[in-house]
Structure 1
Amino acid sequence: MTEFTPDLGERPASLDGLRDAIPACDRVAYFNTGATGPSPDRVLDAAAAWERFHKVDVLADADPYEVAFAEYERLRERLAEFLGVDADRLGLVESTADGLSAVVAAYDWDPGDVVVRTDLEHPAGTLPFDRLARRHGVEVRVVEAPAGRIDTDAFADAVADAEMACFSSLSWNYGTRLPVRELCEIAADAGAFSLVDAVQSPGQRPLELPEWGADAVACSGHKWCLGPWGSGLLAVDPAVDDDLSPAQVSYRSVDDAMADDYDLKPGGARFERGTASLAPHVGLREAVETLETVGLDAVHGRVLDLAGRLTDRLDDDRLLSPAEPESGLVTVDVTDPEATVDRLHDEGLVIRDIPDPQAVRASVHAFNTEAEVDRLATALNEEP
């Protein structure tokens, strides 16, 4: 069978090489990876090469469905390895929001059921539950986590009679790491399903998802992994398969689409649908292998070093994130967040504003430089 093996040249093997491989770095000092990361040329080339391969070469030499379905499985195995999970646990979905909402919609809900989430969640982790409250009479309890810190006793009280608990592995608004394993254990002790939004974690540091003990984890490749949009991943523990009946079923979510009575695939694959483009996940595979060639430990160390350099140079009364960073996300108090984003953009510095807290957030990745970090700190300290 025809197999996709693009020739993209040698991967960068150093942090400097990673930066050189990212064309956006030639144009701007980019500090918004927590929203979407800038991709290396080879990631974009891999995605484009797949499209040409599949829509030109394969059409002349093989069955496009057979080739595509074989590639789905190759991608699943490789990306599962990156997350430290078994391949039969992983589904290739569109985004973190896609994975989270699919799991929530697959659960069997009754009026009066209880869901617990934190007040740190992105809309991807709030809107599915708002819909449950509106459409199914589900009670949504929100556990406060001031400055990105959750009180595990308060969480345990809230989840004691809950059906599901949803929380982030890393807060998108403060950059704090949540005690995911402990929260999952608390949920399990209460008999609640644990759903983790891990969108900010992959690409910042090595991950072994089984260590968390979560029932389901959703994440994406377009942020810190530097992959394309559309490269979502959903890891589901097969032990909870009986609890999840997807709202949408298609031929990629079942074992045999031609059978008289279908059986859903195990794990996250039951949430896959029809002829979705493979290009985003092909690009993500290349992004993952690029980061692994550079070294995920080296990336993680550089992220924390540069984030620490930024917090050390910011005025103390402006810093809303931990003074000793736990991630590459650094949140800063300014008088007018939107105006600050615009001003810094004019100076060639890209950050973003966030709504809660009303502030600006810088995302510091390993491709950034010390000089860029110093420029950013100076520009932020110049706020009135």
Structure 2
Amino acid sequence: MEPTDLREMMPALESSVYCNWGAGGPSPRRVVEAAESALEHHEYEAPAAAGMYPAAFEVYDEARAAVADLLGASLDEIALTQSTTDGINRVAGALNWNEDDVVVRTDLEHSAGILPWQRLEREDGVEVRTLETEGGRLDGGLEAVRAAAEDATLFCVSSLTWTHGTRLPVEAIVEVAHDAGALVLVDAVQSPGQVPVDVREWGADFVVAAGHKWLLAPFGAGFLFVRGGVEGDLVPAAIGYRSVEDANATDYRYAAGARRFEVGTASPAPHAGLTEAIAILEEIGLETIQRRIERLTDRLKEGVPDDRLLSPRSYESGLVTIAVDDPERTVERLADREIVVRSLPNPDAIRASIHAFNSRADVDALLEALESEF
């Protein structure tokens, strides 16, 4: 299958120039049909057959296997969540925090990678250190990381910055953090679906993401990677029958691996959609997807003046940030022309997210609509 073939299966693209994949990726018909089919089976057939819980668990198992294959992880290292924010909070809630602990984050984290640590700072006296950035890059490089790592408990960093589309040096950050005795959590939600991801190469302790952006899955299909062996010292804040080996035992034991981070009953539909979405993208090939994103973003950047382009001119991701005088008004004006992008709170700009399922005509339409801004 080619990216252009899948485009024809995406109803949301029939009436708009959609360039907002970094916020949410419209699903193809096959994905929605897979979610619908799982829900119909669960509600119509399973009750009188094997049962609703076994039907749901079969879907969970399939999704866990698909995510493990996507990330280069083992089955025991994957937990299913609802979202990236949900995954980060499950990790944050599993450590025993006190006023001697230190969390390090960058100043470019999404609110999902800021608010949980602000809460720990307020409630438990945890120190939060912020790595400063400039133009989407770490200001001070790895020396700044080393300085911040002293006595640190946990680093929280993004694989791709949502503000600039830059790639942070995750492997190097992980090495520095581990040398200092700190754990590392990677917010990877902008990576799966547009670039190949191998969690073994990163070496991080936790990787959180969700399927509703570049993976084209429905809302509610999140996932959490927990590096094997790390989970032994963690006690999740929430517990339920999916967290333990035997929910009926008088003395519970947590399930092996990342499964201790799962809790209770959830709809199988979103994760059935995620499984199908991953299968579709693998049919196309993630390398093929990445190459097409690179070509299309290069085309977009060629039409943006240097003083307006806030993302790197050379390819790093499909996220392209463009300075405009009035971001909110620009987004509204583009929407009037059926072109979908988003504004950013910082920097003062708009962000176009270009996926492999966009076309050159989409890019040209966006550039034409932005001419008055330049």
Aligned with 2:15 (options 9, 15, 27): 27
CA distance in 2, matches of 1:291, 1:71: 19
Secondary structure of 1:106's partner?
A: coil
Number of residue pairs matched by the alignment: 372
CA distance in 2, matches of 1:135, 1:24: 43
CA displacement at 1:155 relative to structure 2: 1.1
Secondary structure of 1:382's partner?
A: helix
CA distance in 2, matches of 1:302, 1:354: 25
The one-letter amino acid paired with 2:107 is D
Partner of 1:140: 128
TM-score by length of 2: 0.98
Aligned with 1:371 (options 361, 367, 370): 361
CA distance in 2, matches of 1:225, 1:363: 13
Provide the alpha-carbon RMSD of the alignment. 1.0
Residues 296-350 of structure 1 deviation map (CA, whole Å, 9 limit, x = unaligned)? 1111100111011100111221100001120000000000000000000001110
CA distance in 1, matches of 2:365, 2:61: 45
CA distance in 1, matches of 2:48, 2:89: 39
Matches within 5 A, 1:95-114: 95-114=83-102
CA displacement at 1:57 relative to structure 2: 1.0
CA displacement at 1:67 relative to structure 2: 2.4
CA distance in 1, matches of 2:257, 2:225: 7
Determine whether 1:159 maps to 2:114.
Answer: no
Partner of 1:73: 61
The one-letter amino acid paired with 1:256 is D
TM-score by length of 1: 0.95
Aligned with 1:266 (options 235, 256, 274): 256
Structure 2 residue runs of 5 or longer lacking an equivalent are none
Does the CA-based 8 Å contact 1:238-1:266 persist in structure 2? Answer: no
Matches within 5 A, 1:70-219: 70-150=58-138, 151-219=141-209
Does the CA-based 8 Å contact 2:16-2:338 persist in structure 1? Answer: yes
CA displacement at 1:78 relative to structure 2: 2.0
Aligned with 1:53 (options 41, 48, 68): 41
Structure 1 window deviating more from structure 2 (265-274 vs 103-112): it is 265-274
Does the CA-based 8 Å contact 2:243-2:254 persist in structure 1? Answer: yes
Determine whether 1:236 maps to 2:230.
Answer: no
Partner of 2:216: 226
CA distance in 2, matches of 1:215, 1:266: 16
Does the CA-based 8 Å contact 1:89-1:266 persist in structure 2? Answer: no
Partner of 1:3: none
CA distance in 1, matches of 2:292, 2:167: 17
The one-letter amino acid paired with 1:189 is D
CA displacement at 1:238 relative to structure 2: 2.4
Structure 1 window deviating more from structure 2 (135-144 vs 268-277): it is 268-277
